[in-house]
Structure 1
Amino acid sequence: MSGRTVRLTVAQALVRFLANQYTERDGERRRLIAGCWGIFGHGNVAGIGQALLEAGPDMPYLQGRNEQAMAHAAVGYARQSGRLATQAVTTSIGPGATNLVTGAALATINRLPVLLLPGDVFATRPADPVLQQLEAPGGPDVTVNDCLRPVSRYFDRIWRPEQLVPSALNAVRVLTDPAETGAVTLALPQDVQAEAFEWPAEFLAERVWRVHRPVPDEESVRIAAERITAARRPLLVAGGGVHHSGAEAELAAFADATGIPVCETQSGRGSLRHDHPAQLGAVGHTGTAAADDIARTADLVIGVGTRYSDFTTASNTLFAAPGVRFVNVNITGFDAHKQAADPVVGDARAALGALGRALAGHRVAADYLREYRDAARRWQRVVDGACRAADDTARPSQAQVLGVLGEVTADTDVVVNAAGSMPGDLHKLWRARDARQYHVEYGYSCMGYEIPAALGVRLADPGREVFALVGDGTYLMMPTELVTAVQEGIKVVVVIVQNHGYASIGGLSEQVGAERFGTAYRFRDEAGAFTGAPLPVDLAANAASLGAAVYRADTVGELRAALRAARDGDRPAAVYVETAPEDTAPGAQAWWDVPVAEVAARPAAVEARAAYDERARGRRRHL
């Protein structure tokens, strides 16, 4: 190691270090931390704030309005970048730091890298307590930032300057490791941020982190190939790992060669184009009839890059064939061993290539091909019926909103969504035409993700138009980053779907015997229930007040014109549409386990419990 040192504050050294970190995969080099979102308070303004000011364009700064939203924006950036690049987020100590918890959980659950840099209390304790100090009597070293520990893949608090060197290197190691990545938190005591130190020049120099493609061992590939050749009704479940690996072409080649049908999880949607002959569409509770019917009778399930959430497995009721077996391709052993599978631990692209070579000449039977392709064609007719409005002068249903959006968008446009009833409709109905077009966060199903994530997507991939789809409930939770979009000139289109409440939970509430209690945005009636007139809330006017160009649409035809105008415009926009009360989308094709009251006085809950008990009998553990 060179003996040369550079005198900088801890914050200055950290920012310079981050500006010199790069990833490289398949010969493509990218800057790891593309910029830093920040809201400044007393806990970071003199440290990280001053360091970002000095760094200038070496570490671009983005001004956010809400700490949770900044984390969502960074996650959107990371996902659109294939996990090869992300952004940092800095906040003050106190509520700014604890506001990061939701964003950190979302990143870690979805296996997406984001770097969080919250301020922290004084390490030197010049006054005790200081402003926003937790003051835990049994542990003075505990601060509010400890809330971030369980939702971070790596967490450290930098009590002394010299701690930063190993901790920063470990932080980047986790961010760039596809098997370990998630939220990384470096909590920075506010006095330490401003403290000077002699830093080794080598620490601040350019460093390249090579993101390798681990190749599965030959024996696991051989066993998997034996399982596949012995199966009569194999089904491949494509998860988000296909996109993270960039394995879409390899998946298409695998399906072409073997004829094995492919269905997709929420994060795996778009792994195959919608019109690929092996494409069955979405799987699970929000899946298509084509995919779910085949899943129920599959004798072998091949998971590629999926973590088998309850929505994918229909709460462990979907893969119901006696003796069904699993082969799981995943870069993490933790996920590869789920469902008592034969694991193939490795990169999805490398593993699909190895499996394809091991299966050379193998193809499923012709009658199975005909069966699943006929099912896929039948489902496409269902999609047409749900999404096409017979009359352009009618008020659109939510499914028809998606149909019109599908007409207006180009193949390279991106649709962002996260919560409510929209993810289910998108999963079943959207015809993905590009691997990066479908961006639905459903690992955490976080209301408020959509608008800030759309900013991150557009920053990561500025050549694409980006549409954030939000219901009124989601919009009211976090519209603030529209201001950031206007300030920074980040062109996104927010589609505000007004349905006067939590439509998704309202429907679920009815199914479980809770009778839509507390799920509508309406005035109270004389009995005190929320069944009165809709609230006189004008979300379009709110979006306009935040600086967006606003287009109102009352009919299918007006919606089409508004979406085209917003897409063709050159500034952040909002398209506001109130949907028709009738739902034209097909219902759930598989179950989802939401427990129902075991005893109740109201008949609706008693009936719902009887239905629940009947469906729950179909649960199984694959051992």
Structure 2
Amino acid sequence: MLEQAGVEVVFGLPGGPILPLFEALDSSPRIRLVLAKHEEGAVFMAEGYAQAGGRLGVAVVTSGPGATHAVTATGSADSDHVPVLVLSGQVATNSFGRGPVQDSSGAGACIDTVAVFRSATKLSTAVTTIDQLPHLLQLAIRSATAPVPGAVHLSVTADVLRERTAAPTAPPVQPVLPPRPASIALARAVAALGDARHPAVLAGQGAKLSGCGPELVALADQLSAPVATTFKGKSVFPEDHPAALGVFGTAGGCVRAHELLLGDGIDLLLVVGSSMGEFSTYGWDPRLVRDRVVIQIDSDPVQLGRNFPIQFPIWSDARTTLQELLSQLPKNHVRDSLWPQGHVPSTARQWQGTSGLLKASAVVAQLSERCPDVTDLFVDNGNCFGFAGPGYRSGPDRRVHCSLNLASMGYSVPAAIGGKLATPTRSVLALVGDAAFAMTAMEIHTAVEIGAAVIWVVLNNGGNAMVANVQQLIGLSITGSMYRCPLDVAAVATALGATARVVTSLDQLGRALDEAFALSVPYVIDARVDADEVPWAVHGRVRVLAGSSDAPETAP
């Protein structure tokens, strides 16, 4: 049935109840089974596979701790609307409540994994008879790949997996198209855009998922409108376009995007595919919507007006809506352009300045300068966002992926492996801090075993530097956040079979990147960076954690 659904790769770990499925997957001529080192890593690989490949990611884990280990990554995929199917094993139905090893049926004094997954998925249910399996598997795949995608979970008992039966002949799951925008909503939006003198656009992940990059470019050209993205929307709009403002928000925000979107110069804000959460709005900054018309487009009606009053909500897919708007907007409407004319991103040498310690901002800028034009960059949680937002130039072929809503550290190490398997001809890199690397580093061995040529660039600053930065900015003492013994990331990577280099200067980093691209093997760059460098956008996070309602400054 998985083969019929077009599944080509499954990530997982074996265990008693799931062994029959593991054996079948291992012998399948059409499905590649990737053995991970931890269930969380397996699901993060499935998430990265889905993000890079634009199709369903699948992970298989065993019952009990195997399933509970997978919950965090599953919740991460669901909160970021990534289509992931998690199949977990379960003890046989005739042993429920009798104390079998790794019983997670919820019968008696044991955990109920179906219930545990319900708050981390769109659908979590049990399969206890072979007759249920075809329908529930199709239901799960349809739910995961719906217009508002997400993660799903099926708990399959050992007795079901032991049964042998011919796969039912069933039509493949057909994609469900999102609703078209209502005519009256479109007409109102067209009128508002026609009246605006200084419109601006904020594009989020929904814009990226819909593939509306070309429409955004056409809209920017037609409206003379500057375009900012959230970090999750980064790469939907080419950042070398003259209308590009860069990233807006707490995660990786750029000064020029904040100065324009929070200033008094614009009279209409078009929000495309963003739920307008904390990180996407610089801590729900009220200036983002104050004294201007706001149009919000989203395929999930729950997100429309969730956090701010919206005059013109449109429930539909971003690409479909933009195509309709472009066809109805007047073609030669003259406006005063707010494009950031003549902006040139800072170079790695400019970010580095005269500092004796390697700057993380300079590391990211050099990645931007040296990465091929066809690249997937997986960015981990923490200060990596703050440096990648302004420092890494992205676009339709230089795609950026992250896992931001649940904001689980350690995501990018395994996710990049999944991404490489989904897109083997593209260069795949991960940008990760040393504390996040420590959480999932064992998956480097998985990459070595399967020959996944991923490059991990580790910003090694001696611990949880973002937390320490926030503690300091709030006025707290920096305790418990930094390592007493810093990680030797290169030594860990070498022990796991990867090629690794320590770099402490931009020249060393350049040589390491050249070698990594030339060798095309699992490669780890241990970049020893200044722990005291604080990304500018972190100040918005500090304001929220401190409980302040004061508007943050828009210049560093």
TM-score (structure 2 length as normaliser): 0.92
Q: SS in structure 1 opposite 2:340?
A: helix
Q: State the AA in 2 paired with 1:49.
A: F
Compute the displacement of 1:615 (Å).
4.5
Q: Is 2:30 the partner of 1:80? A: no
Report the CA distance between 1:428 and its aligned residue.
2.3
2:165 counterpart of 1:202: no
**CA-CA distance at 1:592 after TM superposition:** 5.4
User: Displacement, 1:140?
Assistant: 7.6
> In the TM superposition, what is the alpha-carbon distance from 1:51 to its structure 2 partner?
2.2
Q: Deviations over 1:265-316 (max 9, x none)?
A: 1111112211212111111223222211221234322111111110111222
Residue of structure 1 in register with 2:437 after alignment: 475
Partner of 1:421: 383
Quote the Cα distance in structure 2 between the aligned partners of 1:429 and 1:167: 45
Query: CA-to-partner distance for each residue in 1:510-535, whole Å, 9 max, x for gaps?
Result: 1223222211112xxxxxxxxxxxx1
In the alignment, structure 1 residue 313 sits paired with structure 2 residue 313: no
- Which of 438, 452, 466 aligns to 2:428? It is 466
Which residue does the alignment assign to 2:3?
A: 19
Structure 2: gaps (5+ residues): none
1:292 paired to 2:258 = yes
8 Å CA contact 1:417–1:440 kept in 2: the answer is yes
Give, as a single letter, the amino acid of the residue that structure 2 aligns with 1:292. Answer: H
Equivalent pairs counted in the alignment come to 549
Q: Return the match for 2:498 from 544, 548, 552.
A: 548
2:38 pairs with 62, 66, 79, which one?
66
Identify if the C-alpha distance between structure 1 residues 580 and 135 changes in structure 2 by more than 3 Å, giving closer, same or farther: closer
- The within-5 A match list for 1:361-510 is 361=331, 363=333, 365-366=335-336, 369=337, 371-374=338-341, 377=343, 380=344, 383-384=346-347, 387-390=350-353, 395-510=357-472
Contact 1:73–1:452, Cα closer than 8 Å, also in 2: yes
Indicate the residue corresponding to 1:51 in structure 2.
24
Q: 1:348 to 1:404 in 2, by over 3 A?
A: same
Q: 1:182 aligns with which of 141, 150, 154?
A: 150
1:294–1:590 CA distance, 2 compared to 1 (3 A)? farther
Deviation at 1:348, TM superposition (A): 1.6
Label 1:364 to 1:151 Cα distance change in 2 as closer, same or farther (>3 A): farther
**Other structure's SS at 2:128 match:** coil
**Aligned counterpart for 1:172 among listed residues 141, 159, 164:** 141
Contact 2:468/2:478 (CA < 8 Å) preserved in 1? yes
* 2:142/2:173 contact within 8 Å kept: no
1:274 to 1:198, Cα distance in 2 relative to 1, 3 A: closer
Give ranges in structure 1 of 5+ residues lacking alignment. Answer: 1-16, 22-30, 523-534, 597-608, 619-623
Secondary structure, in 3 states, of the residue corresponding to 2:215? helix
Contact 1:318 1:590 in 2 (8 A): no
What secondary structure, in the 3-state scheme, does the structure 1 residue paired with 2:458 have? Answer: strand
C-alpha contact 1:241 1:304 (8 A) present in aligned 2: yes
* Structure 2 residue 100 is matched with structure 1 residue 130: yes
SS at 2:94 equivalent:
coil
Query: Hey, what's the Cα distance between the residues in 2 that align with 1:364 and 1:161?
Result: 65
Identity of counterpart residues, as a percentage?
26
1:318 and 1:387 map into 2 onto residues whose CA distance is 33
Identify which of 36, 52, 69 aligns with 1:99: 69
Match of 2:245 in 1: 280
Residue identity in the other structure for 2:43: A
The answer to whether the 8 Å contact 1:76/1:456 transfers is yes
1:270 aligns with 2:235: yes
Q: RMSD between aligned alpha carbons?
A: 2.6
Q: 2:420 aligns to what SS in structure 1?
A: helix
CA-CA distance at 1:450 after TM superposition? 0.8
Letter in 2 for 1:571: V
Match of 1:346 in 2: 316
CA distance in 1, matches of 2:349, 2:339: 21
Cross-structure match for 1:304? 272
Shift of 1:192: 2.2
Distance 1:128 1:566, change over 3 A: same
Aligned equivalent of 2:10: 36
Q: 1:92·1:119 contact (CA, 8 Å) conserved in 2?
A: yes
Q: What is the deviation of 1:218?
A: 1.7
Alignment check: 8 A CA contact 1:260 1:363 kept: no
Is contact 1:486-1:547 (8 Å) kept? Answer: yes
Report what 1:149 is aligned to: 118
Counterpart secondary structure, 1:124: helix
Match of 1:9 in 2: none
In 2, Cα distance between the equivalents of 1:263 and 1:615? 20
Query: How far apart are the structure 1 equivalents of 2:429 and 2:356?
Result: 23
Q: Which has the larger radius of gyration?
A: 1
Shift of 1:122: 2.2
TM-score (norm 1): 0.83
Partner residue of 2:304 out of 336, 358, 378: 336
* Structure 1 residues 91 and 135: alpha-carbon distance in aligned structure 2, compared to 1, 3 A threshold: closer
Partner Cα separation in structure 2 for residue 263 and residue 240 of structure 1 = 12
Deviation at 1:562, TM superposition (A): 0.7
Residue 566 of structure 1 pairs with residue 516 of structure 2: yes
